[in-house]
Amino acid sequence: MYTKNFEDNIKKELENLKQAGKFKVEREIEGAQGPEVEIKGKKFLMFASNNYLGLANNPEVVKSAKEALDTYGFGLSSVRFISGTETIHKQLEKKLAEFLGVEGAILYSTNFMANLGFFASLTNEAFGSDGNHVDAIYSDELNHASIIDSFKLCKKESVIKRIYKHGDLKMLEQMLEEDKEKNYRFKIIVTDGVFSMEGYLADLPKIKEISEKHEALLFVDDAHAVGVLGSTGAGTPEHFGLHGKIDVLSGTFGKALGGAVGGYIAGKKELIELLRQKSRTYIFSNSVPPSVVMASLRVLELLKEKPELLSKVSENAKYFREGAKKLGFNVLEGNHPIVPVMLNDAKITQDMSKKLLEHGLYVVGLWFPVVPEGTARLRFQVSAAHTKDQIDQALKILGDVGKEMSLI
Ligand SMILES: Cc1ncc(COP(=O)(O)O)c(C=O)c1O
């Protein structure tokens, strides 16, 4: 029964979120995702989307989705191992593995589900006979929420979790050194490929070296890098010359690769097979809809047919980053289309994102607790679909509002 007690407590919690500045407002976009969007009949320049390649409303991607609807229908009403596997699921898994340069891949409904499914499937062995933990996971403290939550599905008696400070690879090494004599069955290092609050890349060459030295499996969540970094868009491994050399990758079709839904784990074939057998978020959750699968196949082809999309997003990001710096803002350096403009003060950031929106520029402001205290920022996300004119307009608005608020 939904008692007054429930109602009062829920209302109180909502109020607390508002007071703490953590209440999220959802703006209603009328129409497709793109470099410009429409809200209440007014156009806004969109700089707050993960639509890095501009494929979210690409006519060819949409056409493939429509064809799939005609051929395969809307949904499969089943999980993969009961009656939910279509030939196109297998094709996408094969093409994805080829694209990433690995032996196999398994689709999940989202990257979040993929991460949740992975760690518990691989670990969760019975309690060690001597009362010790069986496996150990080493994780960057700023890894995505889905990785942090995935640990909660690992039995705490079986798996020890060790969290190292963001990017502190000396600390990671030290932890592995300390654990040398512990004889864990598996040691797993996990990192985001790109950290989305800053657009910073994990130092994969160094992490890989550490993982090899200590015989630890290396898991990279490349959600913000796949379709963005590397000469063919295969992500951070390709960017660092490590294409096909990372043990396990997870990623999403929900950002650069079409922007709908769908996640994956990719790596060695027996590992993928184990996930098909044991991964609860795969086994007990519906298969990815055919329209998304066919459209995603088309996205992988488009990456080959139109390599200019990758160079365009990178050029656009550079152009925007340089432009924002020239205006006099403190901009984080980087080579990812996430471009944080640092304002440091939460109140200023809140006010500025509101003002930018009033001027037609849609960008997200981030402040504590989403980012560390004193590091509030506007997070711009640049797309290959932005024209030079649209980027110039965004910079003009940023400059005008910055001057109006006496920030530059
Ligand atoms: C690093 C990382 N992993 C996983 C996800 C979740 O992806 P999905 O939307 O496919 O669940 C995200 C999305 O924000 C992400 O940034």
Domain end point (choices 269, 288, 305): 305
Cα distance between residue 265 and residue 127, in whole Å: 26
Tell me if 196 CB under 6 Å of ligand 1.
yes
Same-domain pairing of 97 and 133: yes
Same-domain pairing of 297 and 313: no
Tell me if 64 CB under 6 Å of ligand 1.
no
Same-domain pairing of 189 and 338: no
Tell me if 223 CB under 6 Å of ligand 1.
yes
CATH code of the domain in which 339 resides = 3.90.1150.10
Within its chain, how far is the Cα of 34 from the centroid? 19
Q: Could you tell me the distance, in angstroms and rounded to a whole number, from the CA of residue 408 to the centre of ligand 1?
A: 34
Same-domain pairing of 142 and 169: yes
Same-domain pairing of 129 and 211: yes
CA angle 300, 145, 163 (to 5 degrees): 115
Domain-embedded: residue 8: no
pLDDT at 119: 96
Q: Could you tell me the distance, in angstroms and rounded to a whole number, from the CA of residue 159 to the centre of ligand 1?
A: 23
Q: Ligand 1, residues 49, 50, 111: which to mutate, most atoms within 8 A of Cβ?
A: 111
Nearest to 290 by CA among 55, 88, 82, 77: 88
Same-domain pairing of 63 and 132: yes
Output the DSSP codes for 179-213: TGGG--SEEEEEEESEETTTTEEP-HHHHHHHHHH
pLDDT at 20: 81
Domain-embedded: residue 12: no
What are the structure tokens assigned to 289, written together? 């809809």
Q: At what angle do helices 59-72 and 290-305 cross, to 10 degrees?
A: 150
What are the structure tokens assigned to 358, written together? 């009033």
CATH code of the domain in which 226 resides = 3.40.640.10
Domain-embedded: residue 9: no
Tell me if 321 CB under 6 Å of ligand 1.
no
Output the residue whose Cα is nearest ligand 1's atom 16: 223
Q: Which residues are catalytic?
A: 196, 224, 255
Domain-embedded: residue 320: yes
Domain end point (choices 255, 270, 305): 305
DSSP-based three-state secondary structure for 116: helix
Domain-embedded: residue 6: no
Cα distance between residue 22 and residue 25, in whole Å: 10
Tell me if 222 CB under 6 Å of ligand 1.
no
Q: Could you tell me the distance, in angstroms and rounded to a whole number, from the CA of residue 102 to the centre of ligand 1?
A: 21
Domain end point (choices 282, 305, 328): 305
Same-domain pairing of 249 and 117: yes
Output the DSSP codes for 251-272: EESSSSS-SSS-EEEEE-HHHH
Same-domain pairing of 187 and 321: no
pLDDT at 158: 86
Same-domain pairing of 370 and 291: no
**Which residues, 6 or more positions from 354, have their beta carbon under 8 angstroms from its beta carbon?**
none
Q: At what angle do helices 269-278 and 111-122 cross, to 10 degrees?
A: 90
pLDDT tens for the chain, 408 residues long, are 999 999 999 999 999 999 887 788 899 999 999 999 999 999 999 999 999 999 999 999 999 999 999 999 999 999 999 999 999 999 999 999 999 999 999 999 999 999 999 999 998 765 555 666 789 999 999 999 999 999 999 988 889 999 999 999 999 999 999 999 998 999 999 999 999 999 999 999 999 999 999 999 999 999 999 999 999 999 999 999 999 999 999 999 999 999 999 999 999 999 999 999 999 999 999 999 999 999 999 999 999 999 999 999 999 999 999 999 999 999 999 999 999 999 999 999 999 999 999 999 999 999 888 888 899 999 999 999 999 999 999 999 999 999 999 999
Same-domain pairing of 73 and 152: yes
Same-domain pairing of 119 and 249: yes
Same-domain pairing of 377 and 249: no
Domain-embedded: residue 297: yes
- Among the atoms of ligand 1, which is closest to the Cα of residue 193? 1
Domain that holds residue 325: 17-46+307-404
pTM of the model: 0.96
Domain-embedded: residue 67: yes
